[in-house]
Structures are given as C-alpha cells and as structure tokens.
Structure 1
Amino acid sequence: MKALIDFFPIVLFFLSYKLTNDMFLATGVAMASTAVQMLLMKWKKIPIQIMHWMSLVLIVVLGSMSIYFHETIFLKWKFSVLEWTMGAAILIGQYVFNKNMLKILLGHELHLSDEAWKKFGLMWAGFFIFLGTLNIYIAYNFSDDVWFNFKLYGSLGLILVFAIVQEAWLSKQLPKDE
C-alpha cells in the first residue's frame, strides 16, 4: 500500500502530461495529488518522512511559480533540488556529523565494513549530484517533451543501471556467509 501511495503523484503527473501534453495542467495535478498523498498517509497512519515533506513544499512552491509565471523551468528545478539535497545529506552526514545515512537506513540489512559504507555513501551521493545536474542540463537545453521523457525513461533507467552496478559492488563487499 505504501509503494502505491508513494508513486501516486508521480504516476498522475506523468499520465496527465502524456494525455494532455500540457505541463501546467500536469503540474497542477502533481500539486493536488501530492497533497492528497500526504492526507492518505496521515489517514492510513503511514509515517511521513522528511522527503515527503520536502517534495510537497517543492512541488507547491516551484509548481505554483511555474503556473503563475507560465514557465516550466521552475517545475524542472524541483527534481534537481531533491537529487542535490539527497546527495548533500549523505555527504554532510558522513563528513560533518560522522554519520553514514545509508548505514542508518540499510545497516540492519547489510553488514559492511566502515570503509565499504563510506564508499557506498560517496557513490550514491555522487550519483544523486550527477542526476540533479544532468536534469538541469536537459531542462535548459532541450524541449519540455525531451525533458519529460528523460524524467520518465532516462532518469529511471540510470537509477536502475546504477542500482545494478551497486548490487554487483555490494556483493563483493559483503562477508562470505551473506
């Protein structure tokens, strides 16, 4: 149920754009469905994480700016800001607070050395920063349709490939009995 609720705004955003080819309508749908997502999570007593709150604030602020100024670039920034925030959170956690965010999230499932956790965190931080930067590059240099298709297919494809590479790397880092 949580996965369905998590993807609810994304699916509605993509469907509304594909059906209408209207980025501003799709932005309004994304804003409304993200608010509904939060209400559903509260109603179903699903914990609302900081990323949900960030996503809500960013879609409302940047989505409103996109609609008000009739300029899609504000919406396109949302994705980069989220990616950069995740990358920065990993780096700040690791180097400022001496806490590995991925170890905190996944440490109960993965048993890695401290050095492996550090490398794992750096790889994901770098990937998030790369993805946010690539998003902005495409947003400023290509049409809305190209950007949209990149978000739908390209970024998801890159995440999948990166996750597979990470899985292969992790398999070499885990103790032999796991």
Structure 2
Amino acid sequence: MSEVTDTKAAGTDGKKVNPWLRAALEYGPIIAFFVGYMIVRDMSFTVSGREYDGFLAVTAGFIPLQAICTFILWRVTGTISAIQIATVVLVAVMGGISIWLNDERFIKMKPTILYVFFFAVLAFGLLRGQSYIKVVMDHSVPMEHEGWMIVTRRLALFFAGLALANEAVWRTMSTDVWVNFKTFGLPLAIFGFFMAQSRVFQKYGIGDDEAE
C-alpha cells in the first residue's frame, strides 16, 4: 500500500480522475498483496533451484504491480508526488533485496524506512519554519500557516511512532500479524490521525473568499 498518498483528485494539468479509479490504483496493490498472501502463505515455490515461501512469492508479484499502478496513476492524473515515487523505489529496492537474499526481513523494514524518511523531511522543514505537508494539502484544505505548523509537528511525531510500531510488530510477531498490521493497521492509523486534526482544520481554516 502506499502508506501516505497525494490527496489531489486532479493533476496539475487539470485532468479529472474518477475517485474509484484513483482508489483502485492507490490501494489495489496492497489489497492484492494481502489476498495473495492469504492464498499462498503455506505454500513454497522453487525457482532456478531456490525455494521461496509464499510471502516472498507474493512480494515478487507486488513489486511490478505497485510500479504499474503508480505509472498508470501518473498517466491518468498527469502528476506524481514525491511520496509515491519514494514508495515505489523503496518497494523495488527492499523487495528486491528480500527476494535476492531469500530473506523477508528487508521488505518488512520498508515501512520503517519510509516513515523515518517522512519524519526527517518534515522535521527539516520545521527547523526552517516551513510546513512541507502544506504543499501537498493546502490546495484542498486551505489553512493558516500556524495551523499547518501544528499539524506538521504532530505528523512528524506520528510518523516516528509508526516507524517504531512497525519495527516492534515485525520483530516480535508473526508474519500473519505483520501482514494484517501493514494492510489494515497502518492505513487506519493514518486515517484516524487526520480525523483527529479536525479541530485544527476548523480553527485555522481559511474560507473560500479569503483563500482566493
């Protein structure tokens, strides 16, 4: 899954995108990963004399699927976010290392690396007195600078917490638990975080006339 996605419903060139198509392209790969894992988790596959378990077999299919869906999303929207690029690159690199070494630990580390990266980027912006999340969301949720700084500080800490949570889950629990955590726990946590910021958006929100 793309753990955090660009919230734009249209690209910078004005292309309109069916929201159901966008959702399918953004969340389809992680749902397909979950379904595939549930089907083949107890199986093993031999390729070129090497035996791979079901988790790594599904990972091998997930890598190109994530890349293809991201490419299609870029073609239909006319834009692609840095978050989406980072996600595809990390999936390819960490998934590829896992398959190459026949070691599932590396793909499980991917969310940790991604969230640490997000934390570092947001923290760097905060040190400069800037909110980089504003660049992604201000077009859809106009808000005063102070409000964006509050949300950005909270989001940076939230990403740090998600990184720690992912490390704790994959290092101490079974692959089944991690797959469920990755598929459902992380997206729900992100959704819940932004829902919890509703008071900030209401307090510092800018009306249409003021934003214009």
Same fold, TM-score > 0.5, yes or no? yes
Correspondent of 2:181 among 150, 153, 176: 150
Unpaired runs of 5+ residues, structure 1, are: none
Look up the match of 2:80: 48
Question: What is the number of residues matched between the two proteins?
Answer: 177
Look up the match of 1:17: 37
Look up the match of 1:8: 28
TM-score (norm 2): 0.74
Worse-superposed segment, 117-126 or 46-55: 46-55
1:136 aligns with 2:167: yes
CA distance, structure 2, for counterparts of residue 44 and residue 2 of structure 1 = 9
In angstroms, what is the RMSD of aligned CA positions?
Answer: 2.3
Residues 40 and 69 (structure 1), Cα distance of their counterparts in 2 relative to 1, 3 Å cut? same
Residues 38 and 110 (structure 1), Cα distance of their counterparts in 2 relative to 1, 3 Å cut? closer
* Other structure's SS at 1:86 match: helix
CA distance, structure 1, for counterparts of residue 96 and residue 207 of structure 2 = 52
CA distance, structure 2, for counterparts of residue 75 and residue 175 of structure 1 = 41
Question: For the Cα contact (< 8 Å) 2:116–2:159, is it kept in 1?
Answer: yes
Deviation at 1:42, TM superposition (A): 4.9
Correspondent of 1:122 among 132, 142, 153: 153
Q: Residues 75-112 of structure 1, C-alpha deviation per residue, up to 9 Å, x if partnerless?
A: 0111111112122222212213x331122222234343
Worse-superposed segment, 110-119 or 81-90: 110-119
Find the structure with the greater CA-based Rg: 2
Unpaired runs of 5+ residues, structure 2, are: 1-20, 42-53
Question: For the Cα contact (< 8 Å) 2:59–2:95, is it kept in 1?
Answer: yes
Look up the match of 2:115: 83
- Percent of residue pairs bearing the same amino acid type: 25
* Other structure's SS at 1:44 match: helix
Residues 162 and 88 (structure 1), Cα distance of their counterparts in 2 relative to 1, 3 Å cut? same
TM-score (norm 1): 0.86
CA distance, structure 1, for counterparts of residue 132 and residue 178 of structure 2 = 30
1:162 aligns with 2:193: yes
Larger relative contact order (Cα-Cα within 8 Å, sequence gap ≥ 6):
2
* Other structure's SS at 2:79 match: coil
Question: For the Cα contact (< 8 Å) 2:74–2:80, is it kept in 1?
Answer: yes
Question: For the Cα contact (< 8 Å) 1:79–1:135, is it kept in 2?
Answer: yes
Whose helix fraction is larger, Structure 1's or Structure 2's? 1
Deviation at 1:155, TM superposition (A): 1.8
Look up the match of 2:143: 112
